[in-house]
Amino acid sequence: MSLCIYNTLSRSPEPFLPLEPGHVRMYVCGMTIYDLCHIGHARMMMAFDVVQRWLKISGYRVTYVRNITDIDDKIIKRAVERGITIRALTDEMIEAMHLDIAKLGIEPPSMEPRATEYVPQMLDLIGQLEAKGLAYQSPTGDVNYAVRKFPGYGKLSGKSLDELRAGERVAVLDGKDDPLDFVLWKAAKESEPDDAKWDSAALGHAFGVGRPGWHIECSAMSCQTLGETFDIHGGGADLQFPHHENEIAQSEGAHGQPLARFWIHNGFVRVDNEKMSKSLGNFFTIREVLSKYDAETVRFFLVRTHYRSALNYSDAHLNDARTALKRLYTALDLVPVHQIASVDWSDPFAARFKAAMDDDFGTPEAVAVLFDLATEVNRSKSPAMSALLKALGGCLGILQGDPQQFLQTGAALDDVAIQALIAKRSAAKAARDFALADNIRKELLASGIVLKDSAAGTTWEVVQ
């Protein structure tokens, strides 16, 4: 089976082959960077981390671009509130994001362009749209996109212009010819700081002093980094409309060819049946979650649900993820792996894993294969099966740590204290004082420590 990807644009799964043989070009809409990233942001970045990992495992060279929006209303407001420059704020938040997602094993993209580095290209694109009659300057000074002049508008969301118009809640047109029109260049306000303004005349355009709208950023950056047409465009489901719809209108309106062949959207993280978001105040930052749970448990929690499905966040679900991950590590602890094997994809377990991942990156089915394989390791005690378990886990970025270290994470007692009690218990057993030995075992169990006796000696792990 070859790789098949669900394409939001066609609303169906399609066989995937890149435009350039052997090379996949993928653009993903990244963070608007004014605060710490929350677990919903992590879910998006994790989804495409898995995608790019599997593309590479499938033999492709991948150019993965994930942008950073480092200029918008929220960023300006936060910088002014803190009394610092926009650049100081965004540098701080970018560094924090990199630290947080690195802990989750999310690999960096090939390129991470910042919007403020591409303002000249954005202005050039706006100029092309104006020349084609798709952009106009309003009396307020803004430059807007004329939506009704682009015949394909609505093809990604599947809505007609009349349906979109009926759903509008626009009270004031703000100089727009049509409520559906959206801003490409925002005229500067006196109240805004100087570092939020660009003089378009200095960059060869007559759009006045201002800054780019949100949507034009990604059209310019994706074109400059990947070309006018590329293979995959991704992002959260909330970006399908209007952001990605507007990107299509801008890019295809200017260049006259498809922006991306495949559109991939990950599902929301939900809390109490509502989407996790800062506006609702129901979000948990990555740092908050990592203060309670180890990073690999959080990663496993995120990857074991299919990327297009909604993901319910709760302590109960994370505890369940931790327990499930322990089952896999227990198998690796039983039959330790000293060297990760290359995967023989003809092996029945590996073949099932590959079939799952080739079916629109089907991580739930792939994870089910890992549990079946762990059962086989426990039954057969086979080093080859244990090595395969570790290697397949690596495709998802899990099971690469030391099993004992993972199983001992979160202990109420430190290892020195535990080893002292284990030694005391061993001495008691040697003296045939089985009552004392049993009491020590019970004392440790009461502290959440379970002992495991074998011919090689006594080890321990944390019991949840």
Amino acid at position 45, single letter: M
Residues composing the chain: 464
Find, among 109, 24, 3, the residue nearest to 357 by Cα. Answer: 3
pLDDT at residue 340, as a whole number: 73
Strand partners, 182: 145
Strands, sheet with 230-236, edge to edge from the N-terminal-most edge strand: 61-69, 23-32, 230-236, 260-266
Q: What are phi and psi of 227, to 5 degrees?
A: 105, 170
Distance CA 43, CA 35 (A): 17
Q: Per-residue DSSP letters for 268-301?
A: PEEETTEE--TTTT---BHHHHHTTS-HHHHHHH
Strand partners, 451: 460
Q: Where are the domains of the chain?
A: 19-266, 271-406, 408-462
Indicate the fold that domain 271-406 takes in CATH.
Answer: Four Helix Bundle (Hemerythrin (Met), subunit A) (1.20.120)
Find, among 462, 105, 108, 460, the residue nearest to 296 by Cα. Answer: 105
Residue that is written with structure tokens 């000249």 in the block:
120
Q: Confirm if 188 and 91 have CB atoms less than 8 A apart.
A: no
- Strand, coil or helix: what is 53? helix
pLDDT at residue 186, as a whole number: 97
pTM of model > 0.85:
yes
pLDDT at residue 456, as a whole number: 62
pLDDT at residue 104, as a whole number: 98
Q: Which residues of the chain have pLDDT under 70?
A: 1, 165-173, 411-413, 437, 446-448, 454-456, 464
pLDDT at residue 413, as a whole number: 66
- Strand, coil or helix: what is 70? coil
Distance CA 75, CA 399 (A): 38
Q: What is the DSSP letter of 238?
A: G
According to CATH, the superfamily of the domain at 19-266 is HUPs (3.40.50.620)
- Strand, coil or helix: what is 71? coil
Strand partners, 453: 458
Q: Confirm if 57 and 392 have CB atoms less than 8 A apart.
A: no
Distance CA 369, CA 260 (A): 33
Find, among 194, 190, 245, 257, the residue nearest to 218 by Cα. Answer: 245
Find, among 102, 74, 70, 12, the residue nearest to 295 by Cα. Answer: 102
pLDDT at residue 437, as a whole number: 66
Residue that is written with structure tokens 């293979």 in the block:
231
Distance CA 47, CA 49 (A): 5
pLDDT at residue 171, as a whole number: 39
242: preceding bond cis by omega (within 30 degrees): yes
Q: How many CB atoms lie within 10 A of CB 201?
A: 11
Q: What are phi and psi of 90, to 5 degrees?
A: -70, -35
Cβ-based burial of 171 (10 A; exposed 0-12, middle 13-18, buried ≥19): exposed
What does R_g of the chain's alpha carbons equal in angstroms? 27
Q: What are phi and psi of 93, to 5 degrees?
A: -75, -30
Helix (H) / strand (E) containing 211: strand 209-212
